[in-house]
Amino acid sequence: MLFNSLPFFVFFSVFFLLYWFVFNKQLKLQNLLILVASYIFYCFADWRFLALLIGVSLLNYYLGIFIEKTESPKHRRWLLYIGLIQGAGGLILFKYFGFFVASISLALTKLGFNTNLDTLTIIIPLGISFFTFKTISYLFDVDKGKIEASKDWISFFAYISFFPTILSGPIDKAITFLPQLKKERTFDPHIAFDGLRQILWGLFKKIVIADSCARITTQIFENYEGFPASALLLGIFLYTIQMYADFSGYSDMAIGFSRLIGINITKNFDFPFFAQNIAEFWRKWHISLTAWLTEYVFTPLSIAFRDYGKVGITLAIIINFTICGMWHGSKWTFALYGFMHGLYFIPLIISGKLNKKKKIPKHQKLPTFKQAFNMIVTFTIVMLTLILIRAETVTDAFHYFINIFSKSLFTIPYIPSPNTDSILIPTVLLTMVMIIIEWIGRSQNYGIEKLGFKWNKYLRWGMYYVIIISILYYQSKGGDFIYMQF
Amino acid sequence: MADILKQLNEIFVDLLDDESIVLNENTTAEEVEDWDSLNHIHLVVAIEKHFGIRFTSKEIQSWNNIGEMIESINSKN
């Protein structure tokens, strides 16, 4: 049941009516409705793991309460370890175990040993990477006394399984989410309309941009050896756009649907293509994951390594980003992707520019030459590294990368397929439209948040209709969300 | 207490290169521009060096505001 599907539209409409018209001002019932709806939504995605989701919620709910009640630091630590073992254990079992077995088997075979270790195929529970990070941060925060353990099981279970975010984030922290479930929510048409506008922009990015890019990038990546270098460069450029439009589009929709029921969800993207260096890029890309890793991985590591100056910071960043890469799944390409991003921080650490933030004032109409140059360099680095996320193996990624640097880079990027040829130019033009709109709205929460507020009312509504028509025009062509596989 | 706060203020101004910083016991990281996770480590190292003390990892991660940081410093002197 994807956000951009008819079943979800029907599901959300029924939920919305019950939430605001039947259970209005009945806080407990509204929270219970969120929980029931979340479980129904999860069952549509993958009913086989509903029991796991409930079990994880139950265990962490009681662990939170016990950690808070326990005075002995040693016993608290043990309770925390149970939660960590469950969280990390679940991830390792479902996401990484098959990969470890296959890697060990391959290594032993290469060393001349005959192994009978079968490669395991384990089905990954949808959303496990997202809800596990929620439970781990919750227990850490209860242990540190940053939040009170939840004693309201409905709210806590609803937090873990919250349907707008369970499959692809943002990874909201309990500290910001749970207090919202304690407050009475009243329907505010301004907030609801803002939510709808954010959903509209998310749909535009997903359906019009990401799905169009996907039709071209699939052709190029699946047959990359037959394409000229210019087409390979175009392929990875469009894949970078696709990745952003797909994931930030999903996040915009998740935030928008939450706004419609009066709940604020953390921001996940802050116009990352306008970042001027790699550190700024990671402050703007998948913010909820990087914030989580910063708090629970980078900070403890950098504290432990603080006596080693720049070497310590470098090490903490490299480990942090390798984990960030591995979070996406059990493939060497993902680990290398994270490791490479860690390495890109080294020039910034050595030059002492890591924490120098370069803000572009919001009234500035165009970037300066230097700002534009920095943005293009950052984008290019991010783009070339994304080959690792798209490619099946490290060898494929390496070949794709090497093939870009050949004489055919200076040819017209011809793609010999009747399907892609006709959509290439519209896709590139629509991408430019998206980038320009996001540049104008870069100081807001999402691209069209305040776009057209100073225009004539009819002109602004005309813009909304153009977006709606373009979504409907492209809708029939379909496409899954990339981040659901992680 | 006031003396430690004054010294901390000087360290913050110096390290974050921002003359406008005025700390009080309730100041949190969100209220000071540029006091991010990375600068936090630099600040910790500078504070430890200045006061000749050593914090534990748990202490560093438990502070919610400047007041709690000062309490940790006080407990070591």
Shortest distance, CA A282 to any CA of chain B (angstroms): 13
Name the residue of chain A whose CA is nearest to B39's CA. Answer: A355
**Which of B36, B57, B61 is nearest residue A355 as measured by Cβ atoms?**
B36
| B53 touching chain A per CB within 8 A | no
Nearest to A306 among B37, B39, B44 (CB): B44
pLDDT tens digits in sequence order for chain A, 486 residues long: 788 888 999 999 999 999 999 999 899 999 999 999 999 999 998 888 999 999 999 999 999 999 999 999 899 999 999 999 999 999 888 888 777 777 777 788 778 776 666 555 667 788 999 999 999 999 999 998 889 999 999 999 999 999 999 999 899 999 999 999 999 999 999 999 999 999 999 999 999 999 999 989 988 988 888 888 999 999 999 999 999 999 999 999 999 999 999 999 999 999 999 999 999 999 999 999 999 999 999 999 999 999 998 999 999 999 999 999 998 888 899 999 999 999 999 999 888 777 666 778 878 889 999 999 999 999 999 999 999 999 989 999 999 999 999 888 888 777 766 666 678 889 999 999 999 999 999 999 999 999 999 898 999 999 999 999 999 998 866 566 776 666
* Residue to substitute from B34, B61, B63, interface A, most A β-carbons within 10 A: B61
pLDDT of A118: 58
Q: Which candidate in B41, B43, B45 is best for mutational testing of the A interface (most A CBs within 10 A)?
A: B41
Is the pLDDT confidence value at B10 over 80? Answer: yes
Instruction: Indicate yes or no: pTM above 0.95.
Output: no
Asked if B62 and A299 come within 8 Å (Cβ–Cβ), the reply is: no
- Classify residue A428 by burial, with Cβ atoms within 10 Å: 0-12, 13-18, 19+: middle
Q: Could you give phi then psi for residue A390, rounded to 5 degrees?
A: -85, -35
Q: What span, in angstroms and rounded, lies between the C-alpha atoms of B23 and A454? A: 40
Chain A, nearest residue to B41 by Cα: A303
- Give the model confidence (pLDDT) of A220-273 as tens digits: 988 888 888 999 999 999 999 999 999 999 999 999 999 999 999 999 999 999
User: What count of other Cβ atoms lies within 10 Å of the Cβ of residue B7?
Assistant: 15
pLDDT in tens, A112-129: 776 666 555 667 788 999
CA distances from A160 to A31, A166, A478 (A): 13, 8, 29
Instruction: Kindly list the structural domains of chain B, giving each domain's residue range(s) and its CATH number in brackets, ordered by start.
Output: 2-76 (1.10.1200.10)
Q: Which residues of A touch B42 (CB under 8 A)?
A: 355
C-alpha A11, offset from chain centre: 24
Contacts across the A-B interface (CB distance below 8 Å): 34
Rounded to 5 degrees, φ, ψ at A263 are -120, 130
**Cβ contact B37–A146 (<8 Å):** no
Distances (CA, A) of B6 to A396, A443, B9, B10, B12: 58, 35, 5, 6, 10
C-beta atoms surrounding A55 within 10 Å: 13
Burial of A366 (0-12, 13-18, 19+ CB in 10 A): exposed
**Nearest CA to A473 among A201, A205, A208, A252?**
A208
Task: Tell me the pLDDT tens digit for each residue of A421-476.
Answer: 678 889 999 999 999 999 999 999 999 999 999 898 999 999 999 999 999 998 86
Radius of gyration of chain B (CA): 11
B18 touches A at CB < 8 Å: no
The answer, for B46 touching chain A at a CB cutoff of 8 Å, is no
